[in-house]
Structure 1
Amino acid sequence: MAEPKTQPTTESLTSYLSRIDDPARRADCAAIAEIMTKVTKKPAVIWGTAIVGFDTYKMEYANGKTGDWPVLAFAARKNDVTLYLSKTVMDEEDLAATLGKAKQEGGCLHIKKLTDVNLKALQQLCARTAKGKEA
């Protein structure tokens, strides 16, 4: 099996953030990076060209092979910021009910603006994902 296309790079978080044209989205991404650094106690690592990841775990593919993947991650997309969290944690109703305006798809959380969500609930989602060490 070929290696996954998305691999860790040596790009810095500062460099990644500087590539985000929208100042508000850049600020939101910097704040999300701060939250994820705080809960994982790990520095940001840029995976491929678009994903900012924190900490790693061994993910098992359908064929039985394993590979490293970020425990927590986010990506600045054209229309939103996508956070990659644990689907198990995302399904917990207590936090989902208090999160605010965000779209959930599996383990992905799509946020238009950070001001649309409850930051305390978001930090708890990130912390629970980090504690479980699975995305």
Structure 2
Amino acid sequence: MAKSDNKTKPTGRSPEAFVASVENETRRRDAERLLVLFAETTGMVPKMWGPSIIGYGRYQYKYESGREGEFMLTGFSPRRANLAIYVMPGYSAMSDKLDRLGKHKIGKSCLYINKLADVDESVLAEIIHDGLQYMRAKYATWDN
């Protein structure tokens, strides 16, 4: 069993200080709001994962190949081009919610939003919650 050495790991940096350093005013305000939304939805304290991802909780994974490691349960990153929301199980079973969300794009485990004003925050909270429920049912998880 090979323990994975993920490049993206928790750091000691303050998520609030990171958000305060975001230069784009709209992106910074949206990230401030996401700190509140994620706290309300997850009930967890945020931690920085790497230099630019704000993560919540942890889970331990183990692939059939034997590779294993830990990563955040959910989180977000205020990138220059957009807000990236990380829902680890992905979005394949969430088409009804995505239809109600508003303007967005999706990747495998990333939801890309230009600005929070483009989406329904209550639907975003549902998506985050559903992703957490899935992860807790499938993996060993921790809230810190």
Q: What is the TM-score normalised by the length of structure 2?
A: 0.85
Tell me which moved more, 65-74 or 55-64.
55-64
Which position in structure 2 is the counterpart of 1:69?
A: 71
**1:76-120 per-position Cα deviation (integer Å, ceiling 9, x unaligned):** 111101011144545322101101000011221000010000111
Q: How far apart in 2 are the matches of 1:81 and 1:88?
A: 16
Q: How far has the Cα of 1:27 moved from its partner?
A: 1.1
Q: How far apart in 2 are the matches of 1:87 and 1:73?
A: 12
Aligned AA (2:72) = P
Which position in structure 1 is the counterpart of 2:100?
A: 98
Aligned AA (1:69) = F
Checking the alignment, whether the CA contact within 8 Å between 2:81 and 2:114 is kept in structure 1 is yes
Runs of 4+ off more than 2 Å: 59-63, 86-91
**1:20-73 per-position Cα deviation (integer Å, ceiling 9, x unaligned):** 001111111111121111222110000110110001111224641321111111
Structure 1 gap segments, 5+ residues each:
none
Which position in structure 1 is the counterpart of 2:131?
A: 129
Q: How far has the Cα of 1:18 moved from its partner?
A: 1.7
Which position in structure 1 is the counterpart of 2:31?
A: 29
Identity of aligned residues (%): 25
Which position in structure 2 is the counterpart of 1:80?
A: 82
**SS at 1:16 equivalent:** helix
Which position in structure 2 is the counterpart of 1:16?
A: 18
Pick 1 or 2: higher relative contact order, CA cutoff 8 A, min separation 6.
Answer: 2
Equivalent residue pairs, number: 135
Aligned AA (2:35) = A
Aligned AA (2:10) = P
Structure 2 gap segments, 5+ residues each:
137-144
